[in-house]
Structure 1
């Protein structure tokens, strides 16, 4: 099979390219720019384009398929040539389905927790020596790539609700046709695509409709909107609710009760994620004893409450949280786990949704549990996205927190953090970006000397 990737440098795209190459396919690709770690990883497998940019000579009639990344545009010259030649053009979710249509497909959906639930399932399956394929949205410890495609009978897929490709405006998770599905919760996101909350919720209703006959939906019963959605949906699938497992926290460690199983992760959001993973694993033939034994060694997905520094009285975490629901849940988790420590919580806003003044209202009261709340927005982000910058009053008013601190210069934020005495305190750094390139590991060490 000869496969060409247009925009091969994307996170999911380059991992799919590597997976197909390892499967024995002849893979080529192109992109106008490729950043790390994609560049080095493509280089390792001999898949890095010799030159950056688009070249229609790469598109030939003998290609079996072209896979189109979201980074490409509708007028991409390679895409236009592929269309002219009548080649089969897939989005990457379409091609994942093409490679897994004879497998049992587990699809993890929801506005939050997708990566963690997927990671937990993969961890347990690996620990139990099960054969499986996967697609996950983060680099996981113990897994070389974010995509694996073999002859395994099961595939576990993190099901993103964002659009499939520039020429396919369907949400990705509609295309996988799950046999077993999870919805972790619904909280409005991607407002550049889904202009209203009702439109956003509709995508999850359609996701339920896409579940295969005799399939199962596992959903969080603590989410009122999700409960209502599941109740009103007429799709005849097995609907299985979940909530919080019995647990207690002792000396900063969370235990599952009554078995008293110590965990390396914490927070109600992670306990909910754990219960979703447990129910999926049960459907896959793994009993509760085996699940608990395996999950006790799960240390979390990359950038999900990732511990950067662990001291006697100070921890520094980084987390992927960026939407209001994720922000609130992550702050609650750290504060509940260490109630006697001061919590300094800092979020970087940089997504299209979070930089929309109307959407900013949905962040109201999300940082109230933090002893010191900080919002950072790199002023260059507004310029890049051609948006009107926020000021401190905009942020404080919409977060409904008059004590909140606001920075739009990374050097000033760094100076402020270094001025804080972190004795008996935790620092939580949250972003789906990179804090203007700040080395967070180095910062954590400097703050806690």
Structure 2
């Protein structure tokens, strides 16, 4: 890491871009950046780190003498700052490539990938290393409760990074994780997602295959041994399969599930995690295997797992009003909804469970997973599906139909309502819920401040 460089970030207020900029600033790099909307909390984080911010994408925002210009993946052609950069023939790079060159090269890189569970697993593994005194570097695409920020770059030989299969930049359509030089690659699970950039499941399997192609022979690939999509991949590196099935080399057995946490064994060796649901046990088991590869003892691993606090916006209780618990969850894929609802049955036995879902992500606004969504919502005692966000961005023939979802779930004997806006959803929940009920709100956005409005109405 050469910390005398000046780096300029175009689109600096994105979560990953901002976290990266602040972490590099802490290493002594000179950082500047611009964004269309410079807004808290990221703007505060960046200013406190001593980073110069400019609002708007203007030609005059480009510092003439930076060593390197980082183009965020939200930036596209027609952006005035980008156009000026190209005209002046200045050296530019994607954020993923920057991480590879300036941060990851030469380290033991642990890349956590998969459709679901990336953020939790990345944070959990980084925390296990931290508790064991290894002071790891990390890059997390969320807000971890155990750390003060989502990214830390240092001179430790261990680096843990969330490996996202989404594309890298307007000029590089490969998945971000193909830049991350994994010594150990974790593949939690593989399903069809990101319908805006992948044509089908085969295209997603191809990009995961390319990730595995980059793991060296002295590295390790950890695959979900219960997922046929994961098992279809080939590897030159050693492979361990982690799962509950008989064929798994690292076989998970859940021994006790309580509202406070879950105890489990891997090939007979006991561990526990203060989290609910089989999916979190799977995340933890991947961490156990990865941490063993890094050289940690099982006792060191247990100490990390047992003190793990999780991630904001993952089953986060926002408040209790009128005896009703209101939770926030980032889930936006039917599998994530289904597994979270099953886990909450463990945490709240005997209580009525309500799911509120906002179809907002590029995939969930489409009807490609409509039947899977119907099945997922049947896991709740009652559910509400909101209107599709920005419906005009999806062709009518490809768009999710909330009316059909609500009718199909209700026909299976589970009450489901489609409501047009936040106020109608709040009114419906106020009328339908009773003390002891649990409401979990699934959205990957702000959802019009529904959590606060709901708590106020229930109180």
- Name the TM-score, length of structure 2 as normaliser: 0.89
Q: Which runs of 5+ in 1 are unaligned?
A: none
Alpha-carbon RMSD: 2.5
Equivalent residue number for residue 227 of structure 2: 223
Separation in structure 2 between the aligned mates of residue 342 and residue 310 of structure 1, nearest angstrom: 14
- Secondary structure at 2:353 match in 1: strand
Deviates more, 1:174-183 or 1:262-271: 262-271
Which residue does the alignment assign to 2:18?
14
Q: Does residue 1:360 correspond to 2:370, yes or no?
A: yes
Residue 363 of structure 1: SS of its match in structure 2?
helix
> CA 1:88–1:364 in 2, change beyond 3 Å: closer, same or farther?
same
Change over 3 Å in CA distance of 1:251–1:220 after alignment to 2: closer
The 3-state SS of whatever aligns with 2:432 is: coil
1:292 corresponding residue in structure 2: 302
- After TM superposition, list the pairs within 5 Å mapping 1:29-68 onto structure 2: 29-56=33-60, 58-60=62-64, 62-68=65-71
Counterpart secondary structure, 1:404: strand
Q: Using a 3 Å threshold, how does the CA distance of structure 1 residues 76 and 366 change in structure 2: closer, same or farther?
A: same
Does structure 2 conserve the Cα–Cα contact (< 8 Å) formed by 1:366 and 1:399? Answer: no
Q: Does 1:80 align with 2:83?
A: yes
- For 2:324 and 2:406, how far apart are their aligned partners in 1? 27
Q: For the Cα contact (< 8 Å) 1:5–1:29, is it kept in 2?
A: yes
Aligned partner of 1:70 in structure 2 is 73
The equivalences for 1:15-414 within 5 A come to 15-56=19-60, 58-60=62-64, 62-99=65-102, 100-227=104-231, 229-230=232-233, 233=234, 235-244=235-244, 245-249=252-256, 251-257=258-264, 263-309=273-319, 315-377=325-387, 381-383=390-392, 385=393, 388=396, 392-396=402-406, 403-414=415-426
Contact (CA 8 Å) 1:39, 1:48: kept in 2 or not? no
8 Å contact from structure 1 (residues 109, 184) kept in 2? yes
Structure 2: runs of 5 or more not aligned: 245-251
Change (3 A) 1:134 1:250: closer
Pick one of 412, 427, 435 that aligns with 2:439: 427
Q: 1:225 to 1:130 in 2, by over 3 A?
A: same
Cα drift, residue 172 of structure 1: 0.2
Contact 1:361 1:399 in 2 (8 A): no
Q: Separation in 2 of the partners of 1:274 and 1:441?
A: 32
How many residues end up aligned between the 2 structures?
440
TM-score (ref. length: structure 1)? 0.91
